[in-house]
Structure 1
Amino acid sequence: MPIRSTAAPVQRASLRRDQVNRRNQRVASYHELVRPIALHYSALSPEYPDDLIQVGLLGLIRAAELFVPSLGTPFSAFARHHIRGAILHYLRDQAAPIRVPRRQQELEDKLRQVIRSRQSLGQPPASPEEIRDALGLGIEQWERFQRLRGLARPLSLELQSQEPAAPELVPSAAEEAGAAMAVLAQLAPGPQAVVRQVVLEGHSLRRVAKALNVSPMTVHRQLNRALTQLRDQLDCGERVVSSGLKSRRGSSAVQAC
């Protein structure tokens, strides 16, 4: 019988390792792009910054996988596009858009101006009382404004493309970037598939729900639970990185924290 050459599989494995190494190097080098973009959109929506940071981190990983240097686009610009796109896609899928009154839109615009003004002056985030005073709202008007913010995302969210300058990074940012894919790979198959299809591949909740033969609400819940798991495990720091790299026992590494 003819002997099959193992050269091709070995070459493919070597090529894949090189690709993964390049991806990881890009993620480690550019992870600082994620935080300011996530904080920017967190200020424009009811979502928590940590959730958007994790979504943005996955967008960065996707950018690192798709980047083609020969096209001449700087990776920083390419990465920002994918980070922003992943976050906006996540925000759009969190709830059905509700058209808000014109007055609410005007207040949203004024709120963004207040936030940007304080950021440009290097001032700390405003308290709710300071924001209410800046918007010129009474207590009842403020409460109504807050309720509407919780029900609807600003319709002009995609137009807010200028992120603030990057703040000082937390010490664990590089470790989070390096550990994200290891933690994602250890999630249960269902939540892992949802995160990959919705966040990394950019599919809508409805499309993913149809492919999985479940309701969009089920996909929505799985996505939120998966992102919570990612955040919790990345918060464990080096213990998760060590488990993800050294353990091959399925979900046991995820449960280590």
Structure 2
Amino acid sequence: MATQSSLRSRGMELLVSYHQNPSVRLRNQLVQMNAGLVRKIAHRVSHQCAEPYEDLEQIGYLGLIRAIERFNPNQGCAFSSFAVPYIRGEMLHFLRDRAGTVKIPRRWQQLNKEGQRVREQLMEAFGRQPSDEEIADVLKVSVNEWRESKLAAKNRLPLSLDATVCQQLDSPMTLGDTLPDVRYQALQVLEEDRQQLQRALNQLEDKTRQAIEYVFLHDLSRKEVAEQIGVSPMTVTRRIHRGIQQMVGLLHPQVMQSDP
């Protein structure tokens, strides 16, 4: 327990350091510390699709890097909880991009049809299920080609969204459970925008930040805000205008740099 606690503490220290002063060295350290999380998710997803575990793991690291770059330690959220949607989302995007209409080569169609006939003949001769090696030997093809033709024929069949793809400890996971949740993705984008706005807001001078928060978050009038922070209503207006311009520059620095 002490070791796990110290690792979490070290991880948060690195996240704070990266948030304050990003660097490739710190990012690589954080990737190494959280590699187990990527492997765990890749292992689960690999049981829900035909893609190799190794490919999913590599894609998952892209999601981990995105999570590291967007995580704000000041929000009070555990990094693992924050990172999981990014890692799993990258894998699901990868699977979605590779999906499409399955077109089986004519040779494989013929090979699969002939293979089924050979299987029946060998079952009758041996009194048991023949192995892939035995079927491939009769077909005079490699074992790998025979297996690929079988897999192609299997994947060509449409699946119900209620089809079980993985048996969890408490309940089965269906194909529909693995599909991206559009509403969740939209909420995730909104949360990312909120965090970026909060990060920019936190970089403003205190009274400027307070003026913006009072007006836009607490719906106070400029006169009420002036009384709260001890300045004139005109000063409040100027602070809000200046603060918004500063936030725009923080959120879109490339736009501000291109202005004359």
TM-score, normalisation: structure 1: 0.34
**Greater C-alpha Rg:** 2
Structure of higher RCO (CA pairs closer than 8 Å, 6+ residues apart) = 1
TM-score, normalisation: structure 2: 0.34
